[in-house]
Amino acid sequence: MHTKFIVVLGSLMSGLGKGAVTSSLLKILSMYHYKVLPMKFDGYLNYDCGTMNPYRHGEVFVLDDGGEVDMDFGMYERFLDLNLTKASSITGGKLLDFILKKEREGGYLGEDVQIIPHLTDEIKSRVLSFASSNNLDFVLIEVGGTVGDMENAYFIEAMRQLAIKEDVMFIDVTYIPQLNVVGEQKTKPAQSAFHLLMSAGVMPDFIVCRAEKEIESKTRKKLALFTSLDENHIIDSSDLKTIYSLPLHFLDQGFDKLIFEKFKMKPKRIDQKELAPWRQLVEKIVSGGGKKVSIGIVGKYVHLIDSYASVKEAIIHAAATLGLDPDIKWIESEDLEKGDKSDVLNGVDGIIVPGGFGNRGIEGMINAIEYARKNSIPYLGLCLGMQLMAVEFARNACGLKGANSSEFDPSSKYKIVDLMPSQLSVKYKGASMRLGSLDTKINKKGSIMYSSYKKSVIKERHRHRYELNNKYRDILERNGLLITATTTDKKLVEALEWSGSFGIGVQSHPELKSRLKTPAPLFLSFMKAAYNRQK
Ligand code: GLN
Inside any domain, residue 113: yes
Q: Is the CB of 58 under 6 A from ligand 1?
A: no
Q: How many domains does the chain have?
A: 2
C-alpha 246 – ligand 1 centre gap (Å): 34
Same domain, 73 and 183: yes
Q: What ligand 1 atom has the least distance to the C-alpha of 417?
A: 10
Q: Average pLDDT in the 19-31 region?
A: 98
Q: Is the CB of 420 under 6 A from ligand 1?
A: no
Split at pLDDT 50, 70, 90, the class of 267 is confident
Same domain, 252 and 171: yes
Q: Is the CB of 50 under 6 A from ligand 1?
A: no
Split at pLDDT 50, 70, 90, the class of 57 is confident
The predicted pLDDT at position 337 comes to 92
Residue 104 sits in a domain of what CATH number? Answer: 3.40.50.300
Q: Is pLDDT at 139 greater than 90 in this prediction?
A: yes
CB 139 within 8 A of CB 233: no
How many residues belong to the chain? 535
Residue 480 sits in a domain of what CATH number? Answer: 3.40.50.880
Split at pLDDT 50, 70, 90, the class of 340 is confident
Expressed as residue numbers, the domain containing 205 is 4-280
In the 8-state DSSP scheme, what is residue 510?
A: G
Which positions are catalytic? 383, 509, 511
**Parallel/antiparallel/unpaired status of strands 379-382 and 350-353:** parallel
Give, for ligand 1, the residue of 68, 415, 463, 469 to mutate: max count of ligand atoms closer than 8 Å to Cβ. 463
Split at pLDDT 50, 70, 90, the class of 371 is very high
- Report the DSSP beta bridge partners of residue 467: 418
**Parallel/antiparallel/unpaired status of strands 379-382 and 434-442:** unpaired
Coil/strand/helix, residue 514: coil
How buried is 134 (Cβ within 10 angstroms: 0-12 exposed, 13-18 middle, 19+ buried)? Answer: middle
Which residue, judged by its Cα, is nearest atom 9 of ligand 1? 355
C-alpha 354 – ligand 1 centre gap (Å): 10
Same domain, 304 and 276: no
Same domain, 295 and 263: no
The last residue of a domain, from among 235, 258, 280 = 280
Which residue, judged by its Cα, is nearest atom 6 of ligand 1? 464
- DSSP code string of 174-196: EE--B-TTT--B--HHHHHHHHH
Q: Is the CB of 86 under 6 A from ligand 1?
A: no
How buried is 308 (Cβ within 10 angstroms: 0-12 exposed, 13-18 middle, 19+ buried)? Answer: buried
- Name the residue type at position 189: P
Same domain, 319 and 273: no
